[in-house]
A and B are shown apart, each in its own frame.
Chain A
Amino acid sequence: MRRAAIGLALLLGAALGGLAPPIARAQPPAAPALAVPPLVAELSQRRIEITTGFTGADILVFGSTERLIGEASDEVLVVATGPPQPMVVRRKIRVLGFWMNGPSATFPQVPGFYAIAGTRPAWQMLPEDVRQSGRLGLDALPLRALGAQGPAFRAALLELKKGAGLWVEDTAPVEVSGGRLFHVRVPLPATVTPGTYRVEVLLVRARRIVARQELDFEVVRVGAAARIADVADTAPLLYGLTCIVLAGLAGWLGSVLFRRS
C-alpha cells in the first residue's frame, strides 16, 4: 500500500510537471502532437503470490488523465480479465425423488476472472455497439455454449461466478481525487486461478474511447503450495507414493507422540 501511495504521489507530480513516466504506452489518436499523454496508469503490484496462507488480494489500479475527469469531459473505465477457463454448467433435475445433475452446457472460452469498474457504469458512458464489441460489461462477454442451449445456463454461469466474487461489475466506482487522479481497487478472491491477468484502462471522451493502456500482472503459486501442485501435476506417481509414505509416517509418529499408556 505504501508503494502505491508513493506511486500516486510520483504520478501526480509527473502529470502536473508535464513529465510522462517512460512506462506509459498511451496512444492519443486525436492529438498526436501532445507532449502530455492523455492517460497514464499503473498497478500497485505486478505479481500476486498464492502462498499456503493465501486468502485473496486487492490490486490497486491508479493513474491520471490529461484533462479533468467528469461526466462532461474525460471518463475512465478499468477492465481486468483473467486467463480463460472452460466451464461446465449443469442443471439439477429430479429423478425418482433424488436431485441429480442433468443436462449440461460447456462454455469453452470464459474468463476465469473478470472485473469492470468505471467513473460511471460502462453502459452510461459508451454506445451499445462499442460496449458489445469491446466486451465491456458482463452482459457483453461472448459466452457461447456447447451442449445444452438456452439462456438459463448463461444466466446461471453469470450468477454463480458473480456469487463467487470471480466476476465483478461496478461494485465500487473508480474514485477521483484532485480532478485528474483516479484509482480503483480490484478484489481478487482466494479462488483465483494462476496465470497472466490483463488490466485495460480506457479513457472515454464524448462517448468515444480515445486512449487505452494495457497492463499485465501475474498470479503465481509460490512456496510449498506451488511445489506440491507442481509435483502432483508433473509426476503423479511420485506424488502418490510420497502421499502414502507421508500419511503412514504421520500416523505412526502421531500415535507415538500422543500415546496415553
Chain B
Amino acid sequence: MQVYLPIAEMSVDALLLLGIGFGVGWLSGMFGVGGGFLLTPLLILIGIPSAVAVASGANQTLGASVSGLIAQWRRGNVDWRMGLVLVAGGFAGSAAGVQFFVLLRRLGQVDLVVALFYIVVLGTVGALMVMESVRAILRRRRAAPARLHEHTWLHGLPFKMRFRKSRLYISVVPPLVVGFAIGVLSAVMGVGGGFMLVPAMIYVLGMPTGVVIGTSLFQVVFVTANATLLHAVQTGAVDIVLVLILLAGGVAGAQFGAAMGTRLRGEETRALLGLMVLAVAGSLLWDLVRPPPSLFAIAPLP
C-alpha cells in the first residue's frame, strides 16, 4: 500500500514504514532507549531525503518518549529541577544545531556530515557500552562496593545549585554543557540522545540511577519538541504523515519489546545494544568509503 508523503514529496510503502516503526519500537522498548539513532539511518536507507529523515526523526522521538515520561513522572522518578537545567542547555544546543544544519544544506554536505556524526557518536558509544558490559559480566562474582558518586574537578565549578531528588549539590555548568551537546546532536542527527544522556548523567553528573531514565526522558521530550519546531520553521523538512505512520508501528512495537526486555539480564542487554549501535555505525561508514554507484547526485535548488 503506497502512501504519498507531502513534505518528502514521494510515495513510500506504508507497510514498510509501519514495519520499520514496529522494529525500531520493539528494540527501543527492549533496551529502554528512544531508537532515533536506528530510525534516522533506516529512513535514509530506504530513500527518504536526509533532511526529512532527520527532522521527522526528531519529531518521532518526541512521540515515542511522551508515554515513557508520563509513566516515570507518575512514579516520581523525574528530577524536574535538573531536567529544566538540562532543557535550558538543550534549547540553546538544538537552536545552534538547526543553524548548523541550515548551513550544511546550503553547502550541500548534509548527507556527509549527518553520516559522520552518526559514525563518530555511535562508534564511540557502542564501543564503550560493549567494553563496559563485558567487564561487568567478567567481574560479576567479585563485586566491589561502589561509592555514591566520584568527586572530580567538575564539582569545583561555580554557580552551585541543590538538586534534592538527585541528592546532588553541584554547579549548573556541567548539566548545561551536557544539555547543550545533546541538543546539538538532537538537531543534527534527529535523535533524542537518550543513549548518550543516560551515561553522561551517571558518570559525569553522578546522578543516582533511579531518576536518570525519567529525567533524561524529560530532557528528550522538550528538546526534540524544540528541534521539531525549529526544523519546521527553518528547513521545512518535518513530514507529519511519515511521523504518524512510524509512531503507529513504534508504540505497538515498544510495548512488546518492553515485555521482552524484562526477561533479559542488564549486562547482556547492554552488550547487545552496544553491538547493534556498532553495527549501525559500521554500515554507515561502509556507505561513505565504498565507491558510490553514481559519481553525480542531483537535487532541487534549496
A interface residue numbers (CB < 8 A to B): 50-56, 85-92, 97-101, 104, 106, 108, 152-153, 156-157, 159-161, 190-191, 193, 221, 224-226, 228-229, 232-233, 236-237, 239-244, 246-248, 250-260
Select B240's contact among A152, A242, A259, beta carbons within 8 Å: A242
B288 interface residue per 8 A CB criterion = yes
Task: Determine chain B's interface SS by DSSP, over half rule.
Answer: helix
Give the most central of B60, B259, B290, B297: most A CB within 10 Å: B297
Task: Select one of B7, B11, B301 contacting A87, CB under 8 A.
Answer: B301
* B67 CB contacts on chain A under 8 angstroms: 251-252, 254-256
Give, as a whole number of angstroms, the nearest-CB distance from B254 to chain A: 7
> Looking at A56, A244, A252, which has the most chain B CB atoms within 10 Å of its CB?
A244
Contact status B4-A53, CB under 8 Å: yes
Q: Which chain A positions have C-beta within 8 A of B256? A: 260
A90 CB to closest chain B CB (Å) equals: 5
Known contacts A52-B4, A87-B300; A251 and B108 CB within 8 A of each other: no
Q: Decide: A241 near B229, CB < 8 A? Known: A86-B300, A90-B299, A91-B296.
A: yes
Chain B positions within 8 Å of A229 at CB level:
6-7
The stretch of B145-153, B155-163, B177-185, B241-249 in contact with A is B241-249
Chain B residue at minimal CB-CB distance from A194: B9
Chain B: residues with CB nearer than 8 A to chain A?
2-4, 6-7, 9-11, 59-60, 62-68, 70-71, 108-109, 111-112, 116, 221, 225, 228-233, 236, 238, 240-241, 243-244, 247-248, 250-252, 254-256, 258-259, 288-292, 294-302
Q: Which residue of B lies closest to A91 (CB)?
A: B296
Separation of A157 and B221 alpha carbons in the complex (Å): 42
Question: In the complex, how many angstroms separate the beta carbon of A40 from the nearest chain B beta carbon?
Answer: 35
CB < 8 Å neighbour of B66 from A226, A236, A242, A248: A248
Contact A228 B298 (CB under 8 A): no
- Distance between Cα atoms of A241 and B238 in the complex (Å): 11
Query: Once the chains bind, are B7 and A88 in contact (CB under 8 Å)?
Result: no
